[in-house]
Structure 1
């Protein structure tokens, strides 16, 4: 038997939200004050109606006459003036509270979205490897929009319900404590019902928010993989999978709606009991002369003003529960601890030479295992280090540790003798140019993507970087040259073109350290040759760390390091490793033998 885990109280989420929004305290107080004043003006006309009835019935003996206005005509005129100012005041403060709440909602949602995004950017890569992008997008977009909808109208409705109960209750007890007790009898039931349905609806709406994230993840993954879906003619299967996730969202909403919808009928019956009590008992007292006719009118009108708005409490609670479920997800994201701290403000000392050292570095991934164990490497400034090994051996892990995507469990990494955790992340990452196998281009132009790391670059600098990366020839052939849109993730360019733009992007930074993580593994021979020519030019005076499966691309490296199972097993130059006849030499024979076989197969027979 499974049990549903308890969700934190919605009121706890509200307290957390108020703590987060303490910088908006003045705006919240101003908006709340306008809501309160508007509601006080809103219930005043019902009181004036009762007073007007009293004037018509009792004339010179009316309540208003006791204030010094003796004639009935004068009393009616005074009531008309009061009515005008009350309606004007109600309209003014309705305008003010709407402006204040809506602007607060817009400002808070914009700031909260930016805060969550900036916080997420500072989280280590392990967080992103454990979370789907769809869930994160749903939290930063849909959940924050849900909170905005509550602040737009729900917050004001909750405040005004409370003001109505207090203000009308005070009038009731002044006029007739007996009728006040009878009219207020349903309110405990209404409040109990609100809390009861809130407890029932809270977990259901938390489930709704999770289903929204699942749906967003499925859509994002499918749209990103549309080419694969088409190539395997899996459109129908993926549509069915999306339908399954969508139906799960519909079902989660159905369960929540079923609970929240049951609230209104219960409240209506409670309201009817309170209204009938006021109507009958008050009428009997008025007939016996124990209650002023005008006062009876006030009580009847105010009973409706008190109780009927409570029918809208169900909708407000529904909105509140959705907003608090979203708030929990937003604040939980903001509460994720930042493990790779950027506490240092000192930059890397100039001039940067680019010497890199790994000293006894060990690291294990929290999920899935893998990593590196006690690795020590020295890369002198201006030298080229090549890392080779099977997939999952730990090569890319070293690069991630160098860039401080993670911090090592043991050991340390230094650049020019400075510990990388003792300098700012901006300085560290600014000194390293990364070109990875999985090239990511941003939606925009060719120029935008090359200049991504240096937006202020002059056009001449952009062109020079493109020339160095051997990308300028194909850029010139594009319809709009540097201003050609690349499409989402660079979809309008070939794999080789994307790779060369990625290299140009890294070169424009002019970093002292260049890291190539399988940069030529997914390109054709022509593109690989072009990149090799580029590397031959840019490698002088620059530290280059290469990860490669194609051993032909690293034969000129100053040192080649073979990593297996997270440990260094061989190291040396290409010639010394071949002479050692170990794993590197065996792999070299496999690759060159395959190349020779391919070449022989392509040679026509005599």
Structure 2
């Protein structure tokens, strides 16, 4: 009874200490993996699916935790049992000890054999888990498109295919790992029979004390029986190792755009931007920019126009150091951005993009995202400047209105205005507008244009726009074609030059002349 209470006490301590240790390790592993992923280059995220990354940081880490929670402890218990019980065996009867230990080398050999066989199979299982997570993530994000095209049945079938691929991968792995169980049981049975038979004969002829024989029979069970669970432990181990390899592969992805400098931009930041003979090409497509030179004096507005894929957004990514140029350099107030800290650089730039991303939470949370300690007066002022306050104050919960995942509860124009308010509250000396009005209605565009007239005062603004009516007041307009500067000047000078910009202006204003479409298609 006393021993049972002691065993219960130790079991309780195991549950508290060991399992909490497993939880701590998996939490730290997930945090380290996520923090490393945040520092990776944008090129990495453009080549990897979010579902695969979520599967690695969540499901793979959970697989490791499951092994640490139970399997690792079982291995420790088996080793301790074999050592302690084996010592008693050799004291009482070295011969029976050798017989009892005979199955163990076979079991260990079998464990390594099946480990080599099962390892690649479980790696495939983890890959299929990532594929399944990607499919689910993509479908749920695009549910409106699926419904509008009445593709529910087709997408359900595609999900079924991904799910069946996961089931098949698991089936192949289970087929191999399950074969290990009868090998262990047969080896253990052989050890039991050898101990019973030889020990019984020794007890009958008097070479072994009957009491010692009874102890050895009991100890044989204590020695070999825990090994029956080794197959499940090896299965957990292989799943955990497949997941661990995926986690380590992610942790080993190199960071190309490195934040090596601790030097901040010289304060105050005036906002002078220089793009000095910059060239850059994407590794996958080969497109990019070649020999671009731009200079934006502090407080001026620069507009970039050109066809889709001409290189406009690439210049913005280089300014934000999402990528580093192959040649040339980008400077702010005369300081190369590669020689200042990433935090200092990006704190000085506010980005409002065409694809607005709002985080799940309230309107207040999203506006204050770049400045979490902002007071309500500053938040309201930013919303008014972005002409967002008029619709916010009409909402029943005002600033505390939930926006839903990715802002799904708001209209496109409302999301765009909140994105502008978020950038304004940050109060950056450089404001970048990447197609900020391309997806909004005329009323919203007019509101944003009114905002920009106030915002641009004393601030450097870089705009990318297809609607030329939004940039007529820019200090300089640069036309980008196939990664190079084709034209530059003010709105009036570019119209007078009668080139690509003038042709596009006439098309957009309904004054197109013969040959304008030919010019635009070149």
Give deviations 1:345-373, integer Å, cap 9, x for gaps.
Answer: 12111111100000011111111221111
Give the TM-score taking structure 1 as reference length. 0.83
> Does the residue aligned with 1:362 lie in a helix, a strand or coil?
strand
Tell me the distance in 2 between the aligned counterparts of 1:345 and 1:373.
Answer: 30
**Where does 1:334-483 land on structure 2 (aligned, <5 Å)?**
334-483=251-400
Tell me the distance in 2 between the aligned counterparts of 1:411 and 1:298.
Answer: 82
Shift of 1:88: 4.5
Tell me the distance in 1 between the aligned counterparts of 2:466 and 2:194.
Answer: 86
Are 1:153 and 2:70 matched, yes or no? Answer: yes
Shift of 1:93: 3.0
Identify which of 568, 580, 603 aligns with 2:497.
580
> Does the residue aligned with 2:393 lie in a helix, a strand or coil?
helix
Q: Once structures 1 and 2 are overlaid, which stretch shifts more, 136-145 or 160-169?
A: 160-169
Shift of 1:89: 4.2
> Does the residue aligned with 1:470 lie in a helix, a strand or coil?
coil
Quick check: 2:506–2:512 contact (8 Å CA) kept in 1? no
Tell me the distance in 2 between the aligned counterparts of 1:346 and 1:220.
Answer: 40
Tell me the distance in 1 between the aligned counterparts of 2:235 and 2:299.
Answer: 64
Tell me the distance in 2 between the aligned counterparts of 1:99 and 1:406.
Answer: 47
Q: Once structures 1 and 2 are overlaid, which stretch shifts more, 178-187 or 112-121?
A: 178-187
Are 1:266 and 2:202 matched, yes or no? Answer: no
- In the other structure, the counterpart of 2:487 is 570
Are 1:238 and 2:138 matched, yes or no? Answer: no
Tell me the distance in 2 between the aligned counterparts of 1:478 and 1:410.
Answer: 50
Identify which of 211, 218, 221 aligns with 2:138.
221
Shift of 1:432: 0.5
Quick check: 2:41–2:255 contact (8 Å CA) kept in 1? yes
Q: Gaps (5+ residues) in structure 1?
A: 1-82, 597-606
Tell me the distance in 2 between the aligned counterparts of 1:374 and 1:101.
Answer: 60
Give the TM-score taking structure 2 as reference length. 0.96
> Does the residue aligned with 1:385 lie in a helix, a strand or coil?
strand
Structure 1 stretches (4+) deviating beyond 6 angstroms?
none
Are 1:526 and 2:447 matched, yes or no? Answer: no
**Where does 1:544-563 land on structure 2 (aligned, <5 Å)?**
544-563=461-480
Q: Gaps (5+ residues) in structure 2?
A: 514-522
Shift of 1:94: 2.7
> Does the residue aligned with 1:593 lie in a helix, a strand or coil?
coil
Shift of 1:87: 4.2
- In the other structure, the counterpart of 1:602 is none
- In the other structure, the counterpart of 1:122 is 39
Tell me the distance in 1 between the aligned counterparts of 2:139 and 2:246.
Answer: 24
> Does the residue aligned with 2:104 lie in a helix, a strand or coil?
helix
Tell me the distance in 2 between the aligned counterparts of 1:434 and 1:497.
Answer: 17
- In the other structure, the counterpart of 2:226 is 309
Give deviations 1:531-552, integer Å, cap 9, x for gaps.
Answer: 0010011111110000001111
Tell me the distance in 1 between the aligned counterparts of 2:313 and 2:276.
Answer: 17
Tell me the distance in 1 between the aligned counterparts of 2:511 and 2:437.
Answer: 18
Shift of 1:141: 0.5
